[in-house]
């Protein structure tokens, strides 16, 4: 017996995704793509042993600031043999500072329906990609700025460190070294080039005082530091015979930790990276170009994230034009503490200023 099955097609509706979820998905994709494309992403982590410590305390709650504790090393002598420890313990000592969030947004707008008719490209995807690329540049540039004290190149005319949203301060005087015979940024001359010896000097400065030592990061069971230099400092380093000889035995090619990804090499337990956003300023002797290289240890920067990223699409001019914006609340700050009770000391970074002359 034949049975004819009848379907009421009106009962079967197309599944649609709520527009709010679509916008949230695009916001998340843009943020994650931008963050992952950032040079500093490989140095980020949620614990205090990361070069850039990511704090998520404000992602799910109100507030625009977060207090960051910095654990200082124990300095007590302990007790020997059967001497009494009870009553002779040492208190944990913390320094702290506040990091503030800011709402950063950017957007793009298309010319109109006629302009869109000329191409079959996915405008929404292109907008996401363009905003993600902008975001990665924005994050990298600002991290370099808070670490070096050099203002970002894209700030509006008249903006100073005092009124910039992220805290920009000069390196603490006890955390700066200079190339060659220079004794200050203003005396850096063309001959004061970057060298392997400066890497060792920076490491000795970082570890000389146990009470103010810059803590290393641990990579595959080994204590390691990272140094980031500009392409012209990298050029000079590649001409250094000490560096070249050390690379014959550095053996970092087999390392799979992200810290080593894209590295130039390693010297004296310091992984060297080259990056074109390391600030270069005409602030040396006779306006010589100065490269602001960075020697980095644990908790050099705090990266605080606020609530979820936001993606907004909007139509203008009787729906002829389409635009989109993407924004996120986050904060950046160099870690500092007042070891002497008065003056700030950079907690996890040493600035290395050398000649960075053009070819």
**For the chain, what are the domain ranges?**
19-73+93-145+303-336, 170-301+337-355
Residues whose CB is less than 8 angstroms from the CB of residue 247 and which lie 6 or more positions away in sequence, other chains included: 265, 266
**Which residue has better confidence, 341 or 332?**
332
Average pLDDT, the chain: 88
- Give residue 117's pLDDT: 67
- Give residue 15's pLDDT: 52
- Give residue 266's pLDDT: 93
When pLDDT is cut at 50, 70 and 90, the band that residue 267 belongs to is: very high
- Asked if residues 233 and 225 have their Cβ atoms less than 8 Å apart, the reply is no
Q: Which fold has domain 19-73+93-145+303-336?
A: Major capsid protein gp5 fold (3.30.2400)
- Asked if residues 324 and 312 have their Cβ atoms less than 8 Å apart, the reply is yes
Give me the mean pLDDT over the 171-184 stretch.
96
10 Å Cβ neighbour count for 124?
14
E-strand spans in the chain?
44-45, 52-55, 65-71, 94-100, 102-109, 176-178, 217-219, 222-229, 265-267, 270-274, 280-281, 290-296, 301-305, 310-316, 321-334, 336-337, 345-346, 349-355
- Give residue 38's pLDDT: 96
Q: Is the dihedral of CA 198, 233, 144, 263 positive or negative?
A: negative
- Asked if residues 274 and 234 have their Cβ atoms less than 8 Å apart, the reply is yes
When pLDDT is cut at 50, 70 and 90, the band that residue 11 belongs to is: low
41-54 per-position pLDDT tens digit: 999 999 888 999 99
In angstroms, the CA 283 to CA 333 distance is 24
In angstroms, the CA 61 to CA 296 distance is 31
Give me the mean pLDDT over the 248-265 stretch.
81
- Give residue 10's pLDDT: 53
Which ranges of the chain would DSSP assign to H, the alpha helix?
19-37, 113-117, 123-148, 196-207, 231-238, 241-250
- Give residue 253's pLDDT: 64
Strand 336-337 with 310-316, pairing: unpaired
Least confident of 6-15, 138-147, 183-192, 260-269: 6-15
In angstroms, the CA 41 to CA 212 distance is 26
User: Which one, of 1, 32, 4, 7, lies nearest residue 308 by Cα?
Assistant: 32
- Asked if residues 186 and 284 have their Cβ atoms less than 8 Å apart, the reply is yes
Least confident of 6-15, 68-77, 228-237, 332-341: 6-15
In angstroms, the CA 178 to CA 181 distance is 8
């Amino acid at each position: 017996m034949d049975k004819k099955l009848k379907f009421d097609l009106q009962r079967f509706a197309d599944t649609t995704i709520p527009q709010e979820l679509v916008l949230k998905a695009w916001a998340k994709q843009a943020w994650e793509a931008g963050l992952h494309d950032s040079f500093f992403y490989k140095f980020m982590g949620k614990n205090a042993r990361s070069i850039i410590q990511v704090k998520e305390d404000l992602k799910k709650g109100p507030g625009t600031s977060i207090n960051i504790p910095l654990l200082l090393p124990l300095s007590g002598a302990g007790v020997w043999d059967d001497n009494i420890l009870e009553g002779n313990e040492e208190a944990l000592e913390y320094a702290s500072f506040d990091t503030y969030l800011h709402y950063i947004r950017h957007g793009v707008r298309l010319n109109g329906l006629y302009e869109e008719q000329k191409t079959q490209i996915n405008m929404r995807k292109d907008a996401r990609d363009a905003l993600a690329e902008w975001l990665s540049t924005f994050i990298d540039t600002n991290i370099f700025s808070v670490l070096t004290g050099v203002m970002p190149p894209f700030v509006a005319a008249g903006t100073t460190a005092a009124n910039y949203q992220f805290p920009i301060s000069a390196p603490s005087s006890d955390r700066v070294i200079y190339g060659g015979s220079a004794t200050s940024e203003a005396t850096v001359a063309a001959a004061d080039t970057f060298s392997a010896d400066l890497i060792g000097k920076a490491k000795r400065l970082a570890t000389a005082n146990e009470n103010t030592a810059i803590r290393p990061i641990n990579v595959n069971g080994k204590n390691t530091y990272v140094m980031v230099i500009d392409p012209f400092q990298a050029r000079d380093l590649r001409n250094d015979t000490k560096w070249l000889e050390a690379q014959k035995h550095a053996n970092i090619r087999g390392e799979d930790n992200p810290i080593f990804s894209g590295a130039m090499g390693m010297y004296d337990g310091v992984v060297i990276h080259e990056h074109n956003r390391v600030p270069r300023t005409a602030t040396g002797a006779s306006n010589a170009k100065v490269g602001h290289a960075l020697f980095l240890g644990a908790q050099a920067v705090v990266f605080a994230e606020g609530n979820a990223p936001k993606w907004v699409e909007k139509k203008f001019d009787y729906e002829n034009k389409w635009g989109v914006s993407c924004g996120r609340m986050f904060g950046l700050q160099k870690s500092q503490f007042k070891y002497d009770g008065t003056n700030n000391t950079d907690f996890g970074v040493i600035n290395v200023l050398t000649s960075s002359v053009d070819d």
